[in-house]
Structure 1
Amino acid sequence: MKNLLMSFVLLAFGTITMAEDVDSFEVLNRAVFEFNQTLDEIFFEPVAKVYKESVPKTAQNRVSDFSSNLDDISTLGNEILQFKLFDSVSTFGRILVNSTIGLVGLFDVAGDIGLEKTDEDFGQTMAVWGVPSGPYVVLPVLGLSTMRDLTGTYVDITENVDVTKVLNITEETALLLVRAVDTRVKLLPATDLLKNSDDVYIAARSSYLQKRQFDIFDGNPPIEDDDF
């Protein structure tokens, strides 16, 4: 209940600060983006490359599958809130199969038997509820977002904390770092593409906003004239 109340406080704040300009905080956003880029070049990207090249692929797959199973738990809640009943039944099946036969999510057995993975977050849920995206924002370390997605990220993170509260601080921190590295490895191809852009900031912003539209409309976004 506390998490739900806090989410509505953040949502109210996001609604108040919404503006017609998709990037009304561009000056600040660019500064934070540059900071994140520097941090990524110095730390995250090198770590991701070492992880990808040094850790056996089998071990990497176990990390990815375990992380995916945790994400399915959040997805299930958001599918229920979006009244996607068929998808929620399928996701519940994935969680049940992977948490048991798949050894607590270390193996994606559900995918092997035809239970396809879907991804839903609270930012998408709010979009389905009709909440506007609000201005585009770049967060230190966390990266690209919007006011709506910022609220959604808070809710999703707190829900993940509830799921992993059986872990101690050291275990939870280790899990967070491993999942972060796994995510960064998956983004390596996109990083190479962005580096070839004339304006990396504009390219990253456009890619993020278009992907969010794609996610919200389940791969069939409406055609818009807006230039991100």
Structure 2
Amino acid sequence: MLIVAKFYLNRFFKQGVLLGALALTAACATTDNTPDGFDDPYEVTNRKVHNFNRGLDRVLIKPASNAYGVAVPDPVKQGVSNFASNASLPQKFVNNLMQGDIEGAGTNFFRFAANTVFGFAGLLDPASDMGVYQEDTNFGETLAVWGVQEGAYLELPFFGPSTQRDATGKLVDLFTNPLSHQLGDPERYFPPTANVAARFGDRYRYTSTIDSILYDSADSYAQTRLVYLQNSRFELGAPTDDTTDPYEDPYDSLYE
């Protein structure tokens, strides 16, 4: 874990990166959303991007994920998913520290060390067998802890649903995994490649749920927005409207 400490001290806390990202988000995310509401001033553009993403899923992502899910044995898929998850832990560790979550940082530190040393670089998951599970987080959550508001809802090409705060977090997270800065070629490409494969595995695993949102609802855009915002706010501990079913079409009444 020395590479994490080195990166943390020498790279990630360069004030230009952090303050620039914070300033960008603070400038954009100015809307104070209600717990069960949303701010979607870019709906026209968002719907166009959503249609693009939906078409991409139909012609490429879903067929590729089905091929991956059927062709690759389950133990191999699990190993790829384990490796991708383990490779993301140094980044989560840094975000834990920036959030002041020392317990979460310690958990992710121990989990990364145990799985890397005893789990063949994370292909296996002995940490879970010891009852040590990852404390999932990202820079979007770090911004939320710092008091940056959610901002407007966005649908990003390829990445899907987001908000202004989370989009900034995704951008920063692309460049702040210590492994990507410390590993040489071609090893530095192993984690992102495994992450893409793991996402195909997730698409295959949750195909019925995803299909119900994208293809079975009367308004897949509104459905995607509702599910994403509710899940995102729930993960941050924000109150949500418990009477709303995230898989119920919010525009059902328009078609009755």
Do both share a fold (TM > 0.5)? yes
Q: Which residue of 2 aligns with 1:210?
A: 230
CA deviation profile, 1:57-114 (whole Å, cap 9, x unmatched): 1110110000110122211111112222222211111011001001111111100111
* Distance in 1, Cα, partners of 2:209 & 2:90: 27
Between the two proteins, the alignment pairs up a number of residues equal to 222
Q: Which residue of 2 aligns with 1:66?
A: 83
- Helix, strand or coil at the partner of 1:159: coil
Backbone CA RMSD of aligned residues: 2.2
Q: Any conservation in 1 of the 2:153–2:162 contact (CA below 8 Å)? A: yes
1:186 deviates by 1.3
Q: Any conservation in 1 of the 2:25–2:148 contact (CA below 8 Å)? A: no
* Distance in 2, Cα, partners of 1:39 & 1:171: 29
Moved over 4 A (4+): 1-4, 170-175
- Helix, strand or coil at the partner of 2:154: strand
Choose 78-87 or 17-26, whichever is displaced more: 17-26
1:189 deviates by 3.6
One-letter amino acid of the structure 2 residue matched with residue 192 of structure 1: D
Q: Which residue of 2 aligns with 1:17?
A: 28
Q: Which residue of 1 aligns with 2:17?
A: 6
1:191 aligns with 2:210: yes
1:176 aligns with 2:192: yes
* Distance in 1, Cα, partners of 2:209 & 2:135: 21
Q: Any conservation in 1 of the 2:29–2:148 contact (CA below 8 Å)? A: no
Q: Any conservation in 2 of the 1:23–1:136 contact (CA below 8 Å)? A: yes
Q: Any conservation in 1 of the 2:80–2:197 contact (CA below 8 Å)? A: no
* Distance in 1, Cα, partners of 2:208 & 2:184: 33
Distance 1:174 1:40, change over 3 A: farther
Distance 1:215 1:177, change over 3 A: same
Distance 1:9 1:30, change over 3 A: same
Q: Which residue of 1 aligns with 2:34?
A: none
Q: Any conservation in 1 of the 2:79–2:124 contact (CA below 8 Å)? A: yes
Distance 1:137 1:72, change over 3 A: same
Q: Which residue of 2 aligns with 1:148?
A: 165
* Distance in 2, Cα, partners of 1:97 & 1:17: 40
* Distance in 2, Cα, partners of 1:185 & 1:116: 20
Structure 1 regions of 5+ residues with no counterpart? none
Q: Which residue of 1 aligns with 2:145?
A: 128
Percent identity between the aligned chains? 31
* Distance in 1, Cα, partners of 2:187 & 2:61: 20
Distance 1:4 1:109, change over 3 A: farther
Query: TM-score, normalising length from structure 1?
Result: 0.88
Q: Any conservation in 2 of the 1:47–1:181 contact (CA below 8 Å)? A: no
